Amino acid sequence: MKLDAALSADALEELMEAYLDAALSSRRDASQPARDLAAFGRRGQQFVLHWGAVIAKDNAELAYQFTAFAPRAMRLMDLDAVESWLLYAMDLYDKKGQIPAIRAFQQVADFAANMQERLAGMALEDCSAVLERFVCGLNGRPLKIAPADIPYTDTESVFLPPILGRLPDKEANFRLYKAMAVHQWAQNWYGTWRAGLLLEALDSGRLAPRDLAIFHVLETFRLDACIARDYPGLRRDMTALRLELDGEDSGWRSAVDRLTEPGSDVRETLRLVEALRGRPPRPCCYRGELQPDAVRTRLAIRSALEQDRFRIALAKMLEDQDGAPPGEDRPEAETLPETRDRLATRRHEDPDSPNGVRFDLMLDGKPVAPPEDVISTMESIIQDHGEIPPEYLVAAGPGLYKRGLGDDERAAESVWAGTYHEDGAFPYDEWDHSRQHHRKGWCILREHPVPPSDPDFYYQTLRKYGGLIKSIRRTFEVLRGEDRLLKRQSDGEDVDIDALVDAYADVHAGLEMTDRLFTRMHKDERNIAVMLMVDMSGSTKGWINQAEREALILLAEALDTLGDRFAIYGFSGWTRKRCEAYPVKTFAQAYDEDAKARICGIAPRDYTRMGVAIRHLSHLLAEQEARVKLLITLSDGKPDDYDHQYRGEYGIEDTRQALFEARLNGIHAFCITIDETGADYLPHMYGPANYAVICDVSKLPLKVSDIYRKLTS
Amino acid sequence: MQHVLRVLKPEDYFIEDEPYYEPVGDEIPVFEAAYRNSLPILLKGPTGCGKTRFMEHMAWRLHRPLITVSCHDDLTSSDLVGRFLVKGGETIWVDGPLARAVRAGGICYLDEVVEARKDTTVVIHPLADDRRVLPMEKLGELLEAPDTFCLAISYNPGYQSVLKDLKQSTRQRFVALEFDYPGSALEQKIVEKESGIASALARQLVKFAHMTRNLKGQGLDEGASTRLLVHAAKLMVSGVAPVVACRSAIAQALTDDPDMLAAVNELGASLF
Ligand SMILES: Nc1ncnc2c1ncn2[C@@H]1O[C@H](COP(=O)(O)OP(=O)(O)OP(=O)(O)O)[C@@H](O)[C@H]1O
Ligand SMILES: [Mg+2]
């Protein structure tokens, strides 16, 4: 017998019995596992026998389960993956006992599927940013990307599965995502939902709900033909995917000839359903499903909104034309019927647009050019209706105008309260160090106003540190930028007479003459923007918070003297979904009584999720025009949050990553902390020279200004 | 083959061959009318939409030398007007490009004028109103502009910060011509003429440009300009594969953001 020849079932059974003895009985022997394993080569067999024996040393029952399920595992995965499977099960045994471990062995198929997806799969969160931009670039109304098990669109978002692992590698799975997104986009752009035809057919019963699937099959042919005409590269990708995942087309194509001709629209598809009803649908890897109800809801909201918006825009155009707002005499009127006669649209051939036509807006018989935002509203209306419906062509009256404004105000308020939509909420990525990758849009941050408090605290602080403030002012005044006359420059506005005289002397003495003969005015502009990021976590309660506020007042006084632009933001939060930033003083706001009262109003709140706060504030800081951008954090401890995950290494690594991103944006970060153990983790996060630990809280106010002066001179 | 290189001062250089310029609107007659009336001209528009080319074309049309100054934030008024230099032990005055253009009665084109320091824009004021003189403070002289002199400045309202906005007192001295990317058909023609690329490919390139322009404000500051299309087309004519040409000449020039870059590349790949 050659060493590497496969063993027979009998031989295997004998070897198995040797280590499984304790788990076998009259009702259970090793013959079935042995028969299963006999189908594999020697290497696989050896692998199972080896690990079976190893596991048996811990637990014979588990060794049996492993031996019994290993052949199936080897059919699903390569040996490395099988090894991870058994180690995973044994790990469960160590931590949770025998039952969960047995379950893990039995659910080998799930593990294999997961494994495949983890290795080769693509997660939506990793590519949704790319897909969203891609779809937006294609054309039409921008569509958001969101997760759902089966792909569909509601005409404002494209829903895609959270993970795809059907294909062997990430890149191929990304192509499948792209094809899915393109198909949903195509429904929007090439008019599956246009003019409400499909919804109407469903409502009226002309298209039965059970025929929706066949309609979708047919419509896919039509859309694919449109895509093929306009985007040859996409056609190539999508055809290849179908060949790989769906197999050959079995005679459908000839049945749907008419649909693939240019100019055919959704009506054609609806007609064909009649003829082809009952055929088994052809599978398609990127088609997903149609969700008429989701579309209906979105469409109703959007149409009403856009109709109003459009009519208001018409009123503005009439105002421009006539020099007075129309309908002033009827403050309650929502539309002004007499304007109908003055408004019209004109159709144009336009090969660039989806149904080959474009519409000009006509006022008093002459074409008018609407402003940019009205154009995009018009485009959206045309995308939905195929035209500007005639009933839209009437100017809004003051009544509608007022209603519109009211809505906006309400919306703005609820945004602040953090309830309405996700508007006014800033999503930020977070760094997961164990996965070495960003969790996309993981944290939601909102800005909340700081209620001003009694400014008395401000005046008390001024009295308490009166002498100190004077001396801080003096030292800072020296730093202030001033015009200086630079002499002996090689280039400048004026001749430097002194230098010239010297140069003449040099020439007469036979020396070489210098060219540094000019004076130049040089303005030492400090051009610094500082963002002060203040820890408002619960742990600052009491005298830390008081010291923070005092320090801010002292520093703000100094910055005001210097003329450096500065902003003060507090930060706090409670889990990743409720991260908060508190604008105490924005860059645009003056350092006035209100700002001072807000400093006094800084109060402890919840937790310290630092990464997201740094990302938000450095984003604001990066927008400033300044040569030096400084982010100074005042803190009392490590990054921390209510969910335990953020505590410890995860939070530290995320903060470090956020600071790293800030540096890429040209921001210098510095941390001032009163945590005595700060030296243990701050160098790792901020870099060795970019932090200061202040042990005595009462020294904080004094030190902060001192540190700032050193940092910026 | 031997090239004889001529070295000329800009004010002596007359463009001899007609620079190819495809008018988008009535910019040529408007410019000519402004020129005849000695009015200065402001060209507004995004980068790479043909402003410089237009100036060359007009200089050729009007038979005037074109002196172009690209403004930057260190540009001082002496850089424009002139300064004293020391030569051979003596201080001598050397005209700056603006003064040279005035003396030669040429066309002076200040590109991206908002980039220059604020005090610099002020020196063009007397030249840009009906005084038509250039004060040369250090010489204590005033230089009067001949009728043939023309001042033109350009300005991209798109991506400058509020800090760098053109002052009203400056902009209100100029006749403004607005430039934008040409319509699809015209842009395709320009790309074909400039690069010699086949029509079908030029069409796809223009389509690609529109895709990137859809992304303006959605993550891109600017979409692809006509200039970038010409670049990509030239690469393609030299045998570079279309997808690669789009990536190197267009996508990389538009953004550094990895997600955006990936998306723009996918858009390019979807067309070819
Ligand atoms: N109307 C046009 N006619 C001919 N060529 C054009 C036209 N518009 C753009 N181009 C092409 O685009 C290129 C870039 O144009 P140009 O350099 O004039 O841009 P610009 O507006 O001056 O840009 P910038 O603001 O960046 O200086 C030209 O070299 C030319 O190939
Ligand atoms: Mg130019």
pLDDT tens for each residue of A147-167: 888 999 999 999 999 888 788
Q: In the prediction, which pLDDT does A233 show?
A: 95
Separation between Cα atoms, residue A638 and residue A647, nearest integer Å: 8
With an 8 Å Cβ cutoff, are B266 and A134 in contact? yes
CA-B54 nearest atom, ligand 1: 18
Q: In the prediction, which pLDDT does B41 show?
A: 96
B218 to chain A, any CB pair closer than 8 A? The answer is: yes
- pLDDT digits over A199-253, tens only? 999 999 999 998 999 999 999 999 999 999 999 999 999 999 999 888 877 677 7
Report which listed range, A268-277, A354-363, A474-483, is most confident: A268-277
Q: In the prediction, which pLDDT does B189 show?
A: 97
Separation between Cα atoms, residue A545 and residue A537, nearest integer Å: 9
* Residue B246 CA, ligand 1 centroid: distance in Å: 18
For B242, left (φ over 0), alpha (ψ -120 to 50), or beta? alpha
B70 to chain A, any CB pair closer than 8 A? The answer is: no
Q: Is A408 helix (H, G, I), strand (E, B) or coil?
A: helix
The answer for residues whose C-beta is within 8 angstroms of residue B111's C-beta and 6 or more apart is B51, B52, B68, B69, B70, B71, B153, B154
Separation between Cα atoms, residue B261 and residue A52, nearest integer Å: 50
What residue's CA is closest to ligand 1, atom 10?
B50
Helix/strand/coil (H/E/C) assignment for every residue in A52-90:
HHHHHHHCHHHHHHHHHHHHHHHHHCCHHHHHHHHHHHH
Separation between Cα atoms, residue A598 and residue A569, nearest integer Å: 10
Residue of B nearest to A503 (CA): B89
Beta strands A483-489; A518-523: pairing state: antiparallel
Confidence tier at A421 by pLDDT (50, 70, 90): very low
- pLDDT digits over A678-711, tens only? 878 888 888 777 888 877 767 777 777 777 777 7
Q: Which chain B residues are within 8 Å of A237, Cβ to Cβ?
A: 270
- CB distance A60 to A21 below 8 Å: yes
- CA A257 remoteness from chain centre: 42
CA atoms within 13 A on the CB side of B186: 11
CA dihedral (B40, B42, B43, B45) in degrees, to 10, reads 180
Q: In the prediction, which pLDDT does A501 show?
A: 80
For residue A576, give Cα distances in angstroms to A342, A426, A435, A557, A635.
54, 12, 18, 34, 19
Q: In the prediction, which pLDDT does A426 show?
A: 86
Q: Which of A513, A81, A160 is nearest to B89 (CA)?
A: A513
Least confident of A67-81, A364-378, A384-398, A461-475: A461-475
Q: In the prediction, which pLDDT does A417 show?
A: 35
Which sign, positive or negative, has the C-alpha torsion B194, B196, B202, B205?
negative
Q: Is A310 helix (H, G, I), strand (E, B) or coil?
A: helix
With an 8 Å Cβ cutoff, are B83 and A493 in contact? yes
Residue of B nearest to A237 (CA): B270
For residue A366, give Cα distances in angstroms to A313, A322, A360, A564, B228.
17, 14, 10, 54, 36
Give the helix ranges, DSSP H, for A107-148: 108-120, 124-138
By CB atoms closer than 10 A (0-12, 13-18, 19+), residue A341 is: exposed
Average pLDDT, stretch A136-147? 89
Q: Where are the domains of chain B?
A: 10-178, 184-271
* Minimal C-alpha gap between A243 and chain B (Å): 18
Task: Indicate whether A84 pLDDT > 70.
Answer: yes
Q: Look up residue A136 and give its two tokens.
A: 């937006």
B27 lines ligand 1 (CB under 6 A): no
Which sign, positive or negative, has the C-alpha torsion A300, A301, A302, A305?
positive
- CB distance B170 to B125 below 8 Å: yes
Report which listed range, A39-53, A610-624, B195-209, is most confident: B195-209
Q: In the prediction, which pLDDT does A439 show?
A: 79
Ligand nearest to the CA of B155: 1
Query: Across the A/B interface, how many CB contacts are shorter than 8 Å?
Result: 73
Long-range interactions of A232-237: CB distance < 8 A, separation 24+: A232/B271, A232/B272, A233/B243, A233/B269, A233/B270, A233/B271, A233/B272, A234/A178, A234/A179, A234/A182, A234/B270, A237/A175, A237/A178, A237/A179, A237/B270
Separation between Cα atoms, residue B104 and residue B12, nearest integer Å: 8
Q: In the prediction, which pLDDT does A1 show?
A: 43
Q: In the prediction, which pLDDT does A267 show?
A: 93
- CB distance A306 to A379 below 8 Å: no
Length of chain A: 713
- CB distance A663 to A669 below 8 Å: yes
Q: Is A335 helix (H, G, I), strand (E, B) or coil?
A: strand
Angle in degrees, CA A687, A691, A695, rounded to 5: 140
Average pLDDT, stretch A326-335? 84
Q: Is A347 helix (H, G, I), strand (E, B) or coil?
A: strand
Q: In the prediction, which pLDDT does A92 show?
A: 85
Ligand nearest to the CA of B226: 1
Interface of B with A in 18-57 (CB under 8 A): none
> How many other C-beta atoms lie within 10 A of the C-beta of residue A710?
9
With an 8 Å Cβ cutoff, are A134 and B184 in contact? no
- pLDDT digits over A480-491, tens only? 655 667 778 878
Q: Which of B15, B17, B53, B110 to mutate to test the pocket of ligand 1 (most atoms within 8 A of CB)?
A: B53
Ligand nearest to the CA of B233: 1
* Residue B223 CA, ligand 1 centroid: distance in Å: 14
- pLDDT digits over A370-407, tens only? 877 788 888 889 889 888 999 999 998 887 876 654 44
Ordered structural domains, chain A, with CATH: 9-113 (no CATH), 122-290 (no CATH), 294-408 (no CATH), 488-523 (no CATH), 528-712 (3.40.50.410)
Q: Look up residue A184 and give its two tokens.
A: 């949903």
Q: What is the DSSP letter of A125?
A: H
Separation between Cα atoms, residue A665 and residue B4, nearest integer Å: 48
Q: Look up residue B262 and give its two tokens.
A: 């990936």
Of B78, B184, B263, the CB nearest to A134: B263
Task: Indicate whether A3 pLDDT > 90.
Answer: no
Average pLDDT, stretch A101-107? 92
Residue type, A573: G
The secondary structure element, H or E, covering residue A321 is: helix A292-322
Separation between Cα atoms, residue A297 and residue A189, nearest integer Å: 19
The overall longest dimension of chain B from CA atoms, in Å, is: 66
Q: What helix, strand, coil percent values describe chain A, rounded to 5? A: 55, 15, 30
Residue carrying the six token digits 């280590």: A19
Average pLDDT, stretch A648-670? 87
* Residue A90 CA, ligand 2 centroid: distance in Å: 68
Q: Which of A149, A153, A145 is nearest to A296 (CA)?
A: A153
Q: In the prediction, which pLDDT does A409 show?
A: 38
- CB distance A518 to A489 below 8 Å: yes
- pLDDT digits over A176-198, tens only? 999 999 999 999 999 999 989 99
Least confident of A165-179, A411-425, A528-542: A411-425
Q: Is B10-178 in CATH node 3.40.50.300?
A: yes
Of A133, A493, A503, the CB nearest to B259: A133
Q: Which of B102, B94, B157, B93 is nearest to B126 (CA)?
A: B102
By CB atoms closer than 10 A (0-12, 13-18, 19+), residue A495 is: middle
Task: Indicate whether A62 pLDDT > 50.
Answer: yes
Quote the strand ranges of A168-245, DSSP E: none
Task: Indicate whether A623 pLDDT > 50.
Answer: yes
Least confident of A413-422, A573-582, B39-48: A413-422
What residue's CA is closest to ligand 1, atom 23?
B48
* Of residues A553 and B159, more confidently modeled: A553
CA-B50 nearest atom, ligand 1: 18
Q: Which chain B residues are within 8 Å of A504, Cβ to Cβ?
A: 89
Query: What's the pTM value of the predicted model, to 2 decimals?
Result: 0.64
The answer for residues whose C-beta is within 8 angstroms of residue B98's C-beta and 6 or more apart is B67, B69, B80, B81, B108, B110, B123, B124, B127, B134
Least confident of A229-238, A262-271, A410-419: A410-419
Percentage of chain A lying above the pLDDT 90 cut: 32
Residue of A nearest to B92 (CA): A495
The pLDDT profile of chain B, 272 residues, written as one tens digit per residue, is 456 677 777 777 888 899 999 999 999 999 999 999 999 999 998 889 999 999 999 999 999 999 999 988 778 788 899 887 777 767 788 899 999 999 999 999 999 887 777 777 788 999 999 899 999 987 889 999 999 999 999 988 765 444 456 777 888 899 999 998 999 999 999 999 999 999 999 999 999 999 999 998 777 878 999 999 999 999 999 999 999 999 999 999 999 888 899 999 999 999 99
With an 8 Å Cβ cutoff, are B266 and A352 in contact? no
Helix/strand/coil (H/E/C) assignment for every residue in chain B:
CCCCCCCCCHHHCCCCCCCCCCCCCCHHHHHHHHHHCCCCEEEECCCCCCHHHHHHHHHHHCCCCEEEEECCCCCCHHHHHEEEEEECCEEEEEECHHHHHHHHCCEEEEECHHHCCHHHHHHCHHHHCCCCEEEECCCCEEEECCCCCEEEEEECCCCCCHHHCCCHHHHCCCEEEECCCCCHHHHHHHHHHHHCCCHHHHHHHHHHHHHHHHCECCCECCCCCHHHHHHHHHHHHCCCCHHHHHHHHHHHHHCCCHHHHHHHHHHHHHHC
